[in-house]
C-alpha cells in the first residue's frame, strides 16, 4: 500500500505508529514470516477507529495479537496488519465479578489481574501466550475451560470503523472455532454470510474488547493453580524453542499428539522445522526454519497420519500470506 493511498492520511489526527515493509518474523512466535506491506499499531481504540476509516475500502486488513497461532508465509502480506498487542491495553474491574479487557491484553496479565481481585476461573489464561483479541478469535482454552465461556459481550470494530457490541449469540462458537452466525441479528442488522476460514487474509471485523464474567474466589488459591499449570507446561512443552503451540486441532475423542507419535513422526525434520520430540503436536523452529519448511512439515504430517490411521488432521494454526 502506498501511504498516499490512505485517504486524507495527513489530515487525520492519527496517533499510532505506521511502519512499512515490516518483517512478520518479528511478530510471530515461530519467528518466521515474510514482509508485510504496512503495519499499524494504534495508540488506542479511538485511534484505531480513525485509522480504519482512513483506509481505502479495498485494502486488506489483518489483526495480529501476539502471533502465537500464526504462520505467515515467506512471501509476506500485501495489505495492512493492525498490531493490537501493546496497543489496546485497558484492563479494569467493572464490578466485583466482571472485567473489561481490551484486545491487546496478554493472557498471563489477565490471569494475574483476576487473581489479584479474588476472581476464580481465569487461571487457565496464564499459560496461553496470546492476546485477548487472539483468544477471542480462536476461543482459546485449556484444562477444561475456554475463553467464550466467560464472555458477557465483546466490542468489535468493523472494517469501516463502526464500533458494535455483540454477544455469544451472534457467533457460532465451538472448540477453537468462532465465526459470526449467518442468521443472527446484531443491533437490528442482518449479518452477512462472511465466514472467516483459517486461510483468509482479509478480515471484516476485529475484536477490540471483551467483558468477561468470573465467580468470586480466593486470590491465593488462583495463584497456586497458575503456578501448578505453568509447571505442567514447562514439563511437557518445548518452550525453549520458537513454536506456535498445538499445530493441529484434536480430532473428536482423540489427541493429535497421540496419532502423530503413533505414526513415528516425532523428531521428523524439514529444513529448520521439526516435529518436537517433547510434544508431538508442536512443531519447533530449531533455528533458521522458513515458513515453507513449517508448512511442508504440516502437510507431510497430515498426509502420513491420514495414510497410516485414516484420520484427517486439521490445522489449528492460521496460515496466511504469499509463498516466496
Ligand atoms: C507455547 C504455546 C502454548 C499455547 N497453548 C495454548 C493453549 O493451551 N490453548 C489454546 O487455545 N491455544 C494455545 N496456544 C495458541 C495461541 O496462544 C492461541 O491461539 C492464542 O489465542 C492466539 O492469540 P494471539 O494474540 O497470539 O493471536 P495471533 O496468533 O496474533 O492471531 C491468531 C488469529 O486470531 C486473529 N486475531 C488476533 N487478534 C484479533 C482481533 N483483535 N480481532 C480479530 N481477530 C484477531 C488473527 O487474525 C489470527 O487469525 C499456544 C501457543 C503457544 C506458542
Instruction: Answer whether 319's CB lies under 8 Å from 73's CB.
Output: yes
Cβ of 245 closer than 6 Å to ligand 1, yes or no, is: yes
Task: Pick the residue whose CA is nearest to atom 52 on ligand 1.
Answer: 245
The domain defined by 91-220 folds into 3.30.465
Instruction: Answer whether 57's CB lies under 8 Å from 71's CB.
Output: no
Q: What angle (nearest 5°) sits at the alpha carbon of residue 198, between those of residues 194 and 199?
A: 95
Q: What confidence score (pLDDT) does residue 85 get?
A: 92
For residue 248, the cross-strand partners are: 315
Catalytic residue among 246, 276, 290, 295: 246
Q: Please name which of 179, 173, 183, 184 lies closest in space to residue 151, comparing C-alpha atoms.
A: 173
Cβ of 76 closer than 6 Å to ligand 1, yes or no, is: no
Best mutation site among 39, 40, 64 for ligand 1 pocket (most ligand atoms within 8 Å of CB) = 64
Best mutation site among 111, 137, 239 for ligand 1 pocket (most ligand atoms within 8 Å of CB) = 137
Q: Which atom belonging to ligand 1 lies closest to the Cα atom of 131?
A: 25
Q: Please name which of 178, 144, 134, 159 lies closest in space to residue 54, comparing C-alpha atoms.
A: 159
Domains 3-83 and 238-320 share a fold: no
What are the sequence ranges of the domains in the chain? 3-83, 91-220, 238-320
Catalytic residue among 23, 176, 223, 258: 176
Q: Please name which of 276, 283, 274, 271 lies closest in space to residue 243, comparing C-alpha atoms.
A: 283
Q: What confidence score (pLDDT) does residue 201 get?
A: 53
The domain defined by 3-83 folds into 3.30.43
Q: Which atom belonging to ligand 1 lies closest to the Cα atom of 85?
A: 25
302 noted as active-site residue:
no
Q: How far does the centroid of ligand 1 lie from the alpha carbon of residue 311, in Å?
A: 25
Q: 93-104: per-residue pLDDT in tens?
A: 999 999 999 999
316 noted as active-site residue:
yes
Instruction: Answer whether 125's CB lies under 8 Å from 91's CB.
Output: no
Q: What confidence score (pLDDT) does residue 10 get?
A: 53
Q: What confidence score (pLDDT) does residue 156 get?
A: 97
Q: 171-188: per-residue pLDDT in tens?
A: 999 999 999 887 544 433
Cβ of 83 closer than 6 Å to ligand 1, yes or no, is: no
Q: 273-311: per-residue pLDDT in tens?
A: 999 999 999 999 999 999 999 999 999 999 999 999 999
Q: Which atom belonging to ligand 1 lies closest to the Cα atom of 132?
A: 25
Q: What confidence score (pLDDT) does residue 285 get?
A: 98
Q: What confidence score (pLDDT) does residue 312 get?
A: 97
Q: How far does the centroid of ligand 1 lie from the alpha carbon of residue 58, in Å?
A: 26
Q: How far does the centroid of ligand 1 lie from the alpha carbon of residue 13, in Å?
A: 31
Task: Pick the residue whose CA is nearest to atom 6 on ligand 1.
Answer: 128
Instruction: Answer whether 214's CB lies under 8 Å from 108's CB.
Output: no
Q: Please name which of 312, 281, 283, 277 lies closest in space to residue 295, comparing C-alpha atoms.
A: 283
- For residues 268-291, one letter each, b for 16 or more C-beta atoms within 10 angstroms of the residue's C-beta and e for the rest, the string is bebebbbbbeebbbbbbbbeebbb
Q: Please name which of 63, 143, 1 lies closest in space to residue 318, comparing C-alpha atoms.
A: 63
176 noted as active-site residue:
yes
Q: Which long-range contacts (CB under 8 A, 24 or more apart) does 230-239 make?
A: 230/126, 230/127, 233/127, 236/278, 236/279, 237/278, 237/279, 237/282, 238/276, 238/277, 238/278, 238/279, 238/282, 238/284
- For residues 206-217, one letter each, b for 16 or more C-beta atoms within 10 angstroms of the residue's C-beta and e for the rest, the string is bbbbbbbbbeeb
Low-confidence ranges of the chain (pLDDT < 70): 1-12, 183-202
Cβ of 244 closer than 6 Å to ligand 1, yes or no, is: yes
Best mutation site among 41, 69, 82, 145 for ligand 1 pocket (most ligand atoms within 8 Å of CB) = 69
Domain covering 238-320: architecture: Alpha-Beta Complex (3.90)
Q: Please name which of 19, 101, 43 lies closest in space to residue 111, comparing C-alpha atoms.
A: 101
Amino acid at each position: 500500500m502506498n501511504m498516499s493511498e490512505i485517504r486524507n492520511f495527513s489530515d487525520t489526527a492519527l496517533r499510532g505508529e505506521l511502519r512499512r515493509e515490516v518483517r512478520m518474523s518479528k511478530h510471530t512466535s515461530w519467528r518466521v514470516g515474510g514482509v508485510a506491506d504496512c503495519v499499524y499499531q494504534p495508540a488506542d481504540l479511538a485511534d484505531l477507529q480513525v485509522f480504519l476509516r482512513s483506509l481505502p475500502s479495498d485494502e486488506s486488513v489483518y489483526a495480529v495479537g501476539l502471533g502465537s497461532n500464526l504462520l505467515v508465509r515467506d512471501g509476506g502480506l500485501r495489505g495492512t496488519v493492525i498490531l493490537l498487542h501493546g496497543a489496546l491495553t485497558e484492563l479494569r474491574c467493572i464490578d466485583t465479578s466482571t472485567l473489561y479487557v481490551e484486545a491487546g491484553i496478554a493472557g498471563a496479565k489477565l490471569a494475574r489481574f483476576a487473581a489479584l481481585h479474588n476472581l476464580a476461573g481465569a487461571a487457565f489464561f496464564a499459560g496461553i501466550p496470546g492476546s485477548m483479541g487472539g483468544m477471542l478469535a480462536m476461543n482459546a482454552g485449556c484444562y477444561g475451560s475456554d475463553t467464550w465461556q466467560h464472555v458477557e459481550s465483546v466490542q468489535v470494530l468493523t472494517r469501516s470503523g463502526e464500533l458494535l457490541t455483540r454477544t455469544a449469540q451472534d457467533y457460532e462458537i465451538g472448540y477453537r472455532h468462532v465465526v459470526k452466525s449467518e442468521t443472527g441479528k446484531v443491533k437490528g442488522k442482518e449479518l452477512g454470510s462472511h465466514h472467516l476460514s483459517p486461510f483468509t487474509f482479509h478480515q471484516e471485523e476485529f475484536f477490540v474488547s471483551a467483558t468477561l464474567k468470573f465467580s468470586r474466589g480466593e486470590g491465593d488459591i488462583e495463584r497456586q493453580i497458575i503456578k501448578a499449570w505453568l509447571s505442567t507446561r514447562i514439563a511437557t512443552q518445548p518452550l525453549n524453542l520458537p513454536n506456535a503451540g498445538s499445530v493441529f486441532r484434536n480430532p473428536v475423542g482423540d489427541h493429535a499428539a497421540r496419532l502423530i507419535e503413533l505414526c513415528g513422526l516425532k523428531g521428523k525434520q524439514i529444513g529448520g522445522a521439526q516435529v518436537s520430540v517433547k510434544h508431538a503436536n508442536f512443531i519447533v523452529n530449531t533455528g533458521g526454519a522458513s515458513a515453507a519448511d513449517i508448512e511442508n512439515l504440516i502437510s507431510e504430517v497430515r498426509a502420513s497420519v491420514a495414510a497410516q490411521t485414516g484420520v484427517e488432521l486439521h490445522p489449528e494454526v492460521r496460515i496466511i500470506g504469499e509463498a516466496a
